[in-house]
Structure 1
Amino acid sequence: MSEHNIHTSEEHGHGEHGDMSKGRIWKVFFILLFITVIEFIIALWIKPAGYFGDHALLIGNTLYIALTLLKAYYIVAYFMHLKFEKLGLQLSLSVSFIFIIYFIVLMLIEGGYLHEHMPNI
């Protein structure tokens, strides 16, 4: 029975996950740590000091979103092993995620529209 389980796990591509060595895990950890340190530096020193000028809110938020998406990529790709999956699964999850974000943005825009143009609701 255990021989069947080993054969089944190799059929589903789990043998490729052996590429995640301790060195690669530490490398991804330090990349995530570096991105987090940059976020803290922006939040605690650069943004409050006004280095971004009049557009501090826009630039600061854009940097936070970009850095957070980069961290999310590394977490999903390496720690959730999506990088080692087949292209079809990667595309189906990515497209679904993009549509979810798109619909959230549409609802936020629509909610703002109703609030501005129909104050009695």
Structure 2
Amino acid sequence: MSAHEHAIAHEHHGEHETMSKGKIWRVFFILLGVTVLEFFIALYCLPHAWFSQEVANFLYIALTIVKAAYIVAYFMHLKFEKIGLILAIVLPMIFLIYFVSLMIIEGNHLLLGVK
């Protein structure tokens, strides 16, 4: 193995040193806990009328966003990238979600206003 090949192999090996087995398992159990919480809300809280459907929908959306953030950050290695790349990916997604929610709200407003 030449010095150049050794340097490339060492650089590639060092690229993923931040994701140890312990961190992977920790993220797995966090995702498992969030999923169990979603099932608890769906199967126990809603039938017993602890929450309204609107609150349950909000909780589902919030918990799903948390799961998506963990998956993107750790398993797609976005957490270990430079801040510029993170902002280039996250900010357009935030604006997209914001604009879609505004269109849904405005669509309901227009739909309810027409008689």
Task: Name the TM tier (shorter chain).
Answer: 0.7 to 0.9
Q: Tell me the CA shift for residue 83 of structure 1.
A: 0.3
The answer to whether residue 2 in structure 2 is matched with residue 3 in structure 1 is no
**Moved segments of 4+, more than 6 Å:** none
TM-score by length of 2: 0.83
**Residue 117 (structure 1) aligns with:** 113
**Residue 59 (structure 1) aligns with:** 55
Alpha-carbon RMSD across the aligned residues, in angstroms, is 2.6
1:18-37 to 2 correspondence within 5 Å? 18-37=17-36
Structure 2 CA distance, aligned partners of 1:83 and 1:94? 11
Q: Tell me the CA shift for residue 23 of structure 1.
A: 1.5
TM-score by length of 1: 0.79
Structure 1 CA distance, aligned partners of 2:55 and 2:102? 22
Q: Gaps spanning 5+ residues in structure 2: where?
A: none
- Number of positions where the alignment pairs a residue of Structure 1 with one of Structure 2: 113
Map Cα deviations across residues 22-73 of structure 1 (whole Å, 9 max, x no partner). Answer: 1111111111011100100100011111123xxx122211211111111111
Q: Gaps spanning 5+ residues in structure 1: where?
A: none
Q: Secondary structure at the match of 2:46?
A: helix
Structure 2 CA distance, aligned partners of 1:15 and 1:39? 36
Q: Secondary structure at the match of 1:19?
A: coil
Which one has a larger percent helix, Structure 1 or Structure 2?
1
Q: Report sequence identity in percent.
A: 58
Q: Report the CA distance shift for 1:97/1:33 in structure 2 as closer, same or farther (over 3 A).
A: same
